């Protein structure tokens, strides 16, 4: 992944989640924390993001009223959501193929609130 693409994706992720840690960003993008810090320095020159130090609440934030653009679902994501909605409305069981499961997992990981343990919640609902 090129630098510009990674920076765009960092900003996109921050606009969706509103907060993330440098450590998590490093893991997500497979680069060092120093690289993430350089990316954030560059982004902060043109975008309303800021970092906050501290053990609790420390991390990277995007200002409250900033959105890069409206985030719309991709066609693949929308198709899976419509399939799930249709099954729910009809009280039917919904079977997803491997590609649809992958889309749903990606969707959940991208939109989950920071600190949410999806695997734990899933086990509790079974």
Structural domain includes residue 46: yes
Based on the domain organization, do 7 and 58 belong to the same domain?
yes
Q: H-helix or E-strand containing 123?
A: helix 118-125
Task: Find, among 39, 110, 117, 26, the residue nearest to 71 by Cα.
Answer: 110
The last residue of one of the domains, among 62, 86, 104, is 62
State how far the alpha carbon of 104 is from the alpha carbons of 51, 77, 97, 101, in Å: 30, 7, 11, 5
Q: Is 90 exceeded by the pLDDT of residue 70? A: no
What pLDDT, on the 0 to 100 scale, is given for residue 82? 93
Domain count, the chain: 2
pLDDT of 21 reads 92
- Residues 91, 48 share a domain: no
The whole-number average pLDDT for the span 22-36 is 94
Render pLDDT for 33-56 as a digit per residue (tens, 0 to 9).
999 999 999 999 988 988 888 877
For residues 8 and 53, state if they share a domain: yes
Calpha distance 103→117 (Å, rounded)? 19
How large is the average pLDDT for residues 86-90? 93
Same domain assignment for residues 58 and 90: no
Is residue 44, in this structure, part of any structural domain at all?
yes
Q: Identify whether residues 11 and 55 lie together within a single domain.
A: yes
Same domain for 8 and 32, yes or no, is yes
Q: What is the CA radius of gyration of the chain?
A: 17
My answer on whether 7 and 57 are in the same domain is yes
Task: List the CATH number of the domain containing 37.
Answer: 1.10.10.10
Are 58 and 81 within one domain? no
Domain extent for 83: 75-119
125 domain residue, yes or no: no
Indicate the pLDDT class of residue 120, thresholds 50, 70 and 90.
Answer: low
């Amino acid at each position: 992944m090129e630098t510009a693409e990674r920076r765009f994706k960092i900003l996109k992720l921050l606009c969706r989640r509103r907060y993330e840690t440098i450590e998590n960003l490093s893991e997500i993008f497979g680069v060092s924390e120093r690289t993430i810090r350089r990316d954030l320095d560059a982004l902060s020159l043109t975008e309303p993001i800021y970092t906050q130090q501290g053990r609790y609440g420390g991390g990277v934030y995007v200002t409250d009223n900033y959105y890069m653009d409206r985030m719309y679902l991709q066609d693949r994501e929308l198709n899976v959501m419509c399939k799930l909605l249709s099954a729910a409305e009809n009280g039917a069981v919904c079977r997803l193929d491997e590609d649809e499961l992958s889309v749903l997992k990606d969707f959940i990981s991208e939109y989950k609130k920071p600190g949410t343990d999806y695997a734990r919640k899933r086990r509790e609902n079974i």
